[in-house]
Amino acid sequence: MSVDLLVLMYMVSLLAALSVVVVYSEQRRKRFEPTPSEDHIFRCTGCAFVYTDDSDVDRSRCPHCGKTNEMFNF
């Protein structure tokens, strides 16, 4: 075997190992990363309680004091 072939095999094996590590870590990150919620965030104007409700409602009733609130935008 020539030196050029040995160096090429060494570099290809290192790149393959690095590729496997990158693919594995990306799959692991996607598996354990929390999924974004589709719920809307509400903040009660009466008692200042922050809560979420379904994405199909624009106004929601506070579970603590019962006051109807608009969606809260950051």
Are both 48 and 25 inside the same structural domain? no
Q: What percent of the chain has pLDDT over 70?
A: 100
Are both 27 and 53 inside the same structural domain? no
Predicted pLDDT of residue 8? 96
Does residue 36 register a pLDDT over 90? no
Are both 44 and 29 inside the same structural domain? no
Please give the residue range of the domain that contains residue 63.
40-70
H or E segment and range at residue 68:
strand 68-70
In this prediction, residue 47 has a pLDDT band, given cuts at 50, 70 and 90, of very high
Q: How far is CA 35 from CA 39, 46, 50, 67, in A?
A: 12, 31, 20, 30
Are both 26 and 4 inside the same structural domain? yes
pTM of the model: 0.52
Please give the tally of structural domains in the chain: 2
Mean pLDDT, residues 42-53 taken together: 91
Are both 13 and 29 inside the same structural domain? yes
In this prediction, residue 32 has a pLDDT band, given cuts at 50, 70 and 90, of confident
